[in-house]
Amino acid sequence: MRPVFGDRARSVGLSSRPDFALVGVLRIPEIQTSPWASLVRRVLFAISLLFTATLVVYFGRDGYHDNSGDELSFLDAFYYATVSLSTTGYGDITPVTPEARLANIVIITPLRVLFLIVLVGTTISVLTERSRQAFKIQRWRRSVRNHTVVVGYGTKGRTAIDAMLGDGIQPADIVVVDTDAVTLEAAANVGLVTVHGSATQSDVLRLAGVQRAASIVVATNRDDTAVLVSLTARELNKSAKIVVAIREAENTHLLRQSGADSVVVSSETAGRLLGIATTTPTVVEMIEDLLTPEEGFAVAERDVEPSEVGGSPRHLGDIVLGVVRGGELIRVGQAEVDALEATDKLLYIRHARR
């Protein structure tokens, strides 16, 4: 393994940095809008400011006078607000007729505003984007809780997130941690919160809100990395559900000792499906259907209803596969689940939402 001293030094104190210093490390997804819609909003805001200034001048018109000494009309106030907000400040040439002033309001000022937009629009956009991200980071860090942290956005991580989204979890409730900036860009494009850094560092996990997360999915490419991430995550959060994917079954006990609640051996699971497919490919098709929550059938969990207490799961309308009692799975058919208890949970097959 390569030394991580440089990465460790860079990540020290990450969660204690001010919010503006986290722009680029922590990214909150933005609601995608049309650039024309954004432009229209800005123009309407500018018009509202112009009318506000006009009303201020008009209601205080006794304190103003023009070159002729006449009382200001509403058009005069509008004209004064226009040249004031546009920083024009006419001196040597002053329009005196209503027609000339109306032309300045309707034609000259919009052209001047468009020129300013073209001249400084790019700089303002960059500065505003960083400020907006810093504000969103500050707000997100204060409010995030009971979310899911996914470590690794490779094939396993993406597939796990797709399954969660298909099961009704909102993208804003998922945080992705990865070291690959290109991968995180893809995650941000689907509306996920992203954290750039190594999840083996406790400060990176704190930045992802692991200490307040409801569940943690570890989908790294190496088993030793998965062990270290699980240890670190469990140290930060004693109650979160930690689910880990590994390549070799011999490492399962290490993950259990590291605090993982569920361990999925990806290589052996894929091997079993390959073996089954050689003789009964339709079984594999059904398993894929059950694992895809978007359509067909899906495996789900629900509480026992009051009317079902004391009954057998084999006599219910749903196809029940097992009963979760005290955190342990008991398969249907065993004598201890012939009478359901109020605190039980049922694993059953349901029609997936479309």
pLDDT at position 319: 84
pLDDT at position 133: 72
Tens digit of pLDDT at every position of the chain (354 positions): 344 444 444 444 666 777 667 766 776 666 555 556 666 676 777 777 777 777 777 777 665 566 666 677 788 778 777 776 666 665 433 545 565 566 556 765 665 666 566 556 655 665 566 667 777 777 888 888 999 999 999 988 998 898 888 778 899 899 999 999 899 989 988 889 999 999 999 999 999 999 999 999 999 999 999 999 999 999 999 999 999 999 888 888 999 998 999 898 887 777 877 888 888 888 878 877 777 666 677 777 889 888 888 888 888 888 888 888 887 888 887 888 888 888 888 888 887 654
pLDDT at position 126: 55
Strands 297-303 and 262-265 come out as unpaired
Helix (H, G, I), strand (E, B) or coil at 26: strand
Residue pair 81/57 in contact by the 8 Å Cβ criterion: yes
Residues whose CB falls within 8 Å of the CB of residue 314, separated by 6 or more in sequence, listed in order: 320, 332, 333
Q: Which residue in 163, 158, 197, 157 sits closest to 177, CA to CA?
A: 197
Q: Exposed, middle or buried, 44 (CB in 10 Å: 0-12/13-18/19+)?
A: exposed
Helix ranges, 237-352 (H) = 252-257, 266-279, 281-290
Distances (CA, A) of 245 to 7, 190, 195, 267: 24, 23, 20, 10
pLDDT at position 211: 93
Q: Which residue type sits at 170? A: Q
Place of tokens 């909003």: 41
pLDDT at position 237: 94
What is the distance between the alpha carbons of residues 263 and 244, in angstroms, rounded to a whole number?
5
What is the distance between the alpha carbons of residues 116 and 354, in angstroms, rounded to a whole number?
49
Distances (CA, A) of 211 to 42, 78, 135, 154: 39, 56, 22, 24
pLDDT at position 111: 56
For 118-168, the three-class secondary structure string (H helix, E strand, C coil) is: HHHHHHHHHHHHHHHHHHHHHHHHHHCCCCEEEECCCHHHHHHHHHHHHCC
Helix (H, G, I), strand (E, B) or coil at 116: helix
Q: Which residues of 165-177 are buried (b: 16+ CB within 10 A; e: fewer)?
A: beeeeeeebbbbb
What is the distance between the alpha carbons of residues 43 and 116, in angstroms, rounded to a whole number?
13
pLDDT at position 120: 62
> Considering Cα of 173, then 178, then 181, then 184, what sign does the dihedral take?
negative
